[in-house]
Structure 1
Amino acid sequence: MTNPLIGFQIDPADLKFVGHDLERPECILAEPDGTLWSADGRGGVMRIDPDGTQELILQQGLAANTASSFEDRLVNTLGSLPNGLTFDKNGDFLIANFGTDQVERMSRDGATSVIIDNVDGQPFGKANFVTRDSKGRLWLTVTTTMNPWTDHVKTNSRDGYIALIDERGARIVADNLCGTNELRFDANEKWLYVAETTARNITRFRVEGDTLVDRQIYGPSNLGGFNDGIAFDAYGNLWTTLIMADRLVAITPQGDLLTILDAGGDTQALAELDKAWEEGRVTPELMGACGGTACPWMASLTFGGADLKTVYLGSLQGTNIPYFQSPVSGLPLIYWNE
């Protein structure tokens, strides 16, 4: 079978949009009935029904994010700032909170409890993304332990890690990672893939019980940008967003890189950021100068729709959710058929 992504590209002008007045819709969850859920920078989750009706559900008992602007929030992650989302088996939200630096459970009416906020008695650092496996275990990425976290991008520090959370608590199962971001299992949960955003590559580990072994870079060693969200399609392509470049690319099973969407903005600003990364002098100001308008600071992708062929794009600066139709279905996430 020919790879359905070969020769496939989306023009930014052909994107459609759903939702309005969203705040930092970094991570999107789609349900089979068409309902969308978006992480919200005000400290909760936005529900978007198939008819377009919206409802913001704030986390109860947590302080709302107090940053007054995107630039302020970029450095000062104060209060609740939901980042990575997934569903628990009973339909509650599991939240990696980039503001509170903990993993939380939130019911669909906003009732929130802390699952865990430390590993071996030490604070996590910047909790970025959480997912679960078929055994009911949680896997958490921590981007960096630096405070403010933006100091990490100046130095490409390798203080990120992956933590496994089960009935024994949390323990680090992979470290020495650079800007640890989204992580996904393959279809059989034999390999765990993680975005090393500041290293600009995907790393994968073979899952052996409750350990991760056989670490290796998957695909190109430099994807051409800061890769953020990742997701598999049913063919085996691993899609990833390049935040700030606002590009969506995919790594084929053969390791080739395909560009699916390029919605970037100021090419000169992006070139200056890329040069600064090569020289180890990235700053929030250089980062902030980049990004387009269709999906500013493209951060994640989610397959949805009844056939899992609708691709929804999350972003850090957008106020709505762009989407388009893919020629191939996404690999169903663990909650899709529960």
Structure 2
Amino acid sequence: MSRSPNPLDGFTVDPAAIRYVGEGLQRPECILAERDGSLWSADARGGVVHIRPDGTQRLITQTASRRFTDAADEEARFVSGTLPNGLAFAGNGDILISNFGTDRLELMTRGGETRVLVDTIDGQPIGKVNFVLRDSRDRVWMTISTRTQNWMRAMSPTIRDGYIALYDGGRLWIVADGFAFTNEIRLDAREEWLYVAETCACRVTRLRVQPDGSLTDRETFGPSDHGAFIDGIAFDAHGNLWGTHVMVDRIFAITPDGDLRILLDDDRGSEAGKALMAAFARDEVTSELMLACGGTIAPWFASITFGGPDLGTAYVGSLRASRIPYFRSPVAGLPMAHW
């Protein structure tokens, strides 16, 4: 359904207007915002960084919950293997962590005490856990990018082994399968559709949400091929779906009518970006080609988070920056379940 006018009409991000928050961060891939102005950022040091409204920050590292285990080796796993990726607030304010290092869904208190919610599905290891999202019914959706043991091999145009799982009532089950490196997911304002960033299909897919959590009517939303890897996505209040093109470092939006708009381009047609996507088309992506890419604002744009008291500030998560860029949006973000 067409909506006019769109607040994004004529809008692009002015690089000169970008400001930064945080310092010394490591892999701030996913960011959560709260009403009081706090930001919570995933951090490769094994936990999250809490950035307070006054700009001060604290690293909170994961420790094994003694209420659920007293094994020393479990404590060591949280220290050595953890790589928090996607984050969401649980209903009580704790932090749900999709852990890209330990391949499991975890729950961490704001003091760092962590327990495993689930690490297997149908008796098998979950796979490469990527993102987590809580809905208004307190159900937890999660994405598994690939079942391939070496996830880099799944950076391929031919592999479709990612899936979406639903955790509800202590049970985890697969609700949709066969995705090309499943990444971030978002629900629309009415929670009628679930939108999926398929990184290695270079597109956004959506599925209709049924009352029992099953997903139907799978279809492409917007262009069938962005010509770039899509990582994070987030809705604004108008119904535009914002997102990031990782490694070639662009911020885009897909309007409710399905039109793609590039809001910020920090790659500017670089030779490295062209070489990466050409190699991907040949199924010859290497880590060296990937690492050659990245802009100057925050290398490897990974996510968009709306925050601030009016949800009118857009924060950009990334994989290789040590701080978080932000800018004012002409439209507020869609409030998340915790807001």
1:112 equivalent in alignment to 2:114: yes
Tell me by how many angstroms 1:284 deviates: 1.3
- In the alignment, the residues of structure 2 paired with residue 264 and residue 15 of structure 1 have an alpha-carbon distance, to the nearest angstrom, of 16
Tell me, which stretches of 5 or more residues in structure 1 are unaligned? Answer: 67-77
CA contact (8 A) 1:23 1:42 kept: yes
Tell me by how many angstroms 1:263 deviates: 1.6
- In the alignment, the residues of structure 2 paired with residue 14 and residue 64 of structure 1 have an alpha-carbon distance, to the nearest angstrom, of 42
1:323 equivalent in alignment to 2:326: yes
- In the alignment, the residues of structure 2 paired with residue 132 and residue 51 of structure 1 have an alpha-carbon distance, to the nearest angstrom, of 28
1:139-178 equivalent positions in 2, closer than 5 A: 139-154=141-156, 156-167=158-169, 169-178=171-180
Tell me, which stretches of 5 or more residues in structure 2 are unaligned? Answer: 65-74
Tell me by how many angstroms 1:224 deviates: 2.5
- In the alignment, the residues of structure 2 paired with residue 144 and residue 271 of structure 1 have an alpha-carbon distance, to the nearest angstrom, of 25
Tell me by how many angstroms 1:208 deviates: 1.0
Letter aligned with residue 322 of structure 1? P
CA contact (8 A) 1:138 1:164 kept: yes
- In the alignment, the residues of structure 2 paired with residue 86 and residue 264 of structure 1 have an alpha-carbon distance, to the nearest angstrom, of 29
Of 213, 216, 236 in structure 1, the residue corresponding to residue 216 of structure 2 is 213
1:132 maps to which residue?
134
Instruction: Tell me how large the CA RMSD over aligned residues is.
Output: 1.4
Of 80, 85, 88 in structure 2, the residue corresponding to residue 86 of structure 1 is 88
Deviates more, 1:229-238 or 1:147-156: 147-156
1:162-311 equivalent positions in 2, closer than 5 A: 162-167=164-169, 169-209=171-211, 210-264=213-267, 267-311=270-314
- In the alignment, the residues of structure 2 paired with residue 294 and residue 329 of structure 1 have an alpha-carbon distance, to the nearest angstrom, of 22
| Cα displacement string for residues 255-282 of structure 1 (whole angstroms, at most 9, x for unaligned residues) | 1111111122770010001111222211
CA contact (8 A) 2:185 2:194 kept: yes
TM-score, normalising length: structure 1: 0.93
SS for the counterpart of 2:333 is coil
| Cα displacement string for residues 208-266 of structure 1 (whole angstroms, at most 9, x for unaligned residues) | 12210000000001123101100000111000100001100000011111111112277
CA contact (8 A) 1:42 1:64 kept: no
SS for the counterpart of 2:63 is coil
| Cα displacement string for residues 122-146 of structure 1 (whole angstroms, at most 9, x for unaligned residues) | 1111100011112221111000111
CA contact (8 A) 1:25 1:38 kept: yes
1:48 equivalent in alignment to 2:55: no
CA contact (8 A) 2:45 2:83 kept: yes
CA contact (8 A) 2:104 2:116 kept: yes
1:4 equivalent in alignment to 2:7: yes
- In the alignment, the residues of structure 1 paired with residue 158 and residue 29 of structure 2 have an alpha-carbon distance, to the nearest angstrom, of 22
SS for the counterpart of 1:285 is helix
Q: Which runs of 4+ in 1 moved over 3 A?
A: 62-66
- In the alignment, the residues of structure 1 paired with residue 118 and residue 293 of structure 2 have an alpha-carbon distance, to the nearest angstrom, of 35
CA contact (8 A) 1:266 1:292 kept: no
1:36 maps to which residue?
39
- In the alignment, the residues of structure 2 paired with residue 113 and residue 64 of structure 1 have an alpha-carbon distance, to the nearest angstrom, of 12
- In the alignment, the residues of structure 2 paired with residue 155 and residue 222 of structure 1 have an alpha-carbon distance, to the nearest angstrom, of 12
Tell me the matched-pair count: 325
